């Protein structure tokens, strides 16, 4: 299975953008890039996903490199509530195990007031 | 809308006792997942069900662990006998899955289990 690599932690100031990188150099053509986040004392929460094109929703934007070997989750204006661990996960819906999410270590985001 | 509901939120019990964790998925969802989170191993998938049928239990650590889904609105994860190394936060998640779908998984708030 293709793996992802993320920095262990990042710091940001409140109201500033946060760019969270994820490397996935062995990504396959049918792997989707999913992002989840886990707030303290809560279960993970879906953020966004994409295949090739950049994606936007109310929570964040996902920028995917042209060769798909990396991607960046963008939080446009960080708030204290965005302090969480962010997980980048590859998921192939066409595989028999496509429902499974394999969580790595994620990136712990600290937002400073 | 009600999310995934897990009970109990916290469980403290002695080694050797039977532990039963419960999960009510979101109504209408057809897939249910049990995860375990520890500091050492992070978040791991234990087992998942599709239409109440166990599809993949390769993550279940050993025979002391068992999971059931008797109907679409209820699942249990049982540990018997429990051991201190089973101490962790156990999450249940559900989703609406179809062929080749990318539906997000919705997680409960977890059960924090401590085995003394």
Tell if the CB–CB gap between A43 and B108 is shorter than 8 Å. yes
Instruction: For residue A93, list chain B residues with Cβ-Cβ distance below 8 A.
Output: 100-102
Tell if the CB–CB gap between A100 and B48 is shorter than 8 Å. yes
Instruction: For residue B10, list chain A residues with Cβ-Cβ distance below 8 A.
Output: none
What's the average model confidence in pLDDT over B5-16?
Answer: 97
**A&B contacts, CB < 8 Å:** 52
Shortest alpha-carbon distance between residue B31 and chain A (Å): 9
Residue A94 in contact with residue A35, Cβ under 8 Å? Answer: no
- Kindly list the distances between the CA atom of residue A53 and the CA atoms of A49, A56, A62, B40, B97, in Å, as whole numbers in the listed order: 10, 10, 9, 35, 23
Q: Which two tokens stand for residue B67?
A: 């999971």
Shortest alpha-carbon distance between residue A13 and chain B (Å): 27
Amino acid A99: pLDDT: 77
Tell if the CB–CB gap between B93 and A93 is shorter than 8 Å. no
Tell if the CB–CB gap between B106 and A46 is shorter than 8 Å. yes
Amino acid A82: pLDDT: 96
**Paired residues of A14 in beta bridges:** none
Enumerate chain A positions whose Cβ falls within 8 A of a Cβ in B.
Answer: 32, 34, 41-46, 49, 87, 91, 93-94, 97-105
pLDDT tens across B43-70, in order? 999 999 999 999 999 999 889 999 999 9
pLDDT tens across B26-49, in order? 999 999 999 999 999 999 999 999
Q: Decide which of A95 and B113 is more confident.
A: B113
What's the average model confidence in pLDDT over B73-93?
Answer: 97
User: CB neighbours (10 Å) of residue B85?
Assistant: 11
Q: Which of B48, B50, B107 has the CB atom closest to A44's CB atom?
A: B107
Residues 6+ apart with CB under 8 A from A90: A1, A2, A3, A4, A24, A27, A31, A32, A33, A34, A102
For chain A, which ranges sit under pLDDT 50? none
């Amino acid at each position: 299975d293709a793996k992802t690599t993320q920095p262990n932690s990042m710091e940001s100031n409140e109201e500033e953008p946060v760019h969270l990188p994820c490397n996935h150099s062995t990504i396959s053509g049918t792997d989707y890039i999913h992002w989840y986040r886990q707030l303290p004392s809560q279960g993970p929460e879906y953020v966004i996903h994409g295949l090739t094109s950049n994606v936007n929703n109310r929570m964040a934007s996902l920028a995917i490199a042209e060769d798909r070997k990396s991607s960046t989750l963008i939080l446009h204006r960080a708030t204290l509530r965005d302090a969480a661990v962010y997980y980048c996960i590859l998921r192939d819906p066409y595989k028999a195990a496509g429902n499974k999410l394999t969580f790595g270590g994620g990136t712990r985001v600290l937002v400073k007031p | 809308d009600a999310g995934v509901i897990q009970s109990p939120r916290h469980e403290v019990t002695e080694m050797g006792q039977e532990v039963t964790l419960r999960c009510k998925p979101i109504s209408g969802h057809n897939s249910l997942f049990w995860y375990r989170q520890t500091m050492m191993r992070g978040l791991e998938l234990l087992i998942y069900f599709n239409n109440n049928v166990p599809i993949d239990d390769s993550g279940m650590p050993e025979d002391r662990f068992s999971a059931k889904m008797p109907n679409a609105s209820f699942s249990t994860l049982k540990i018997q006998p429990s051991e201190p190394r089973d101490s962790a936060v156990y999450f249940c998640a559900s989703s609406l899955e179809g062929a080749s779908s990318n539906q997000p998984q919705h997680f409960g708030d977890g059960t924090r289990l401590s085995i003394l």
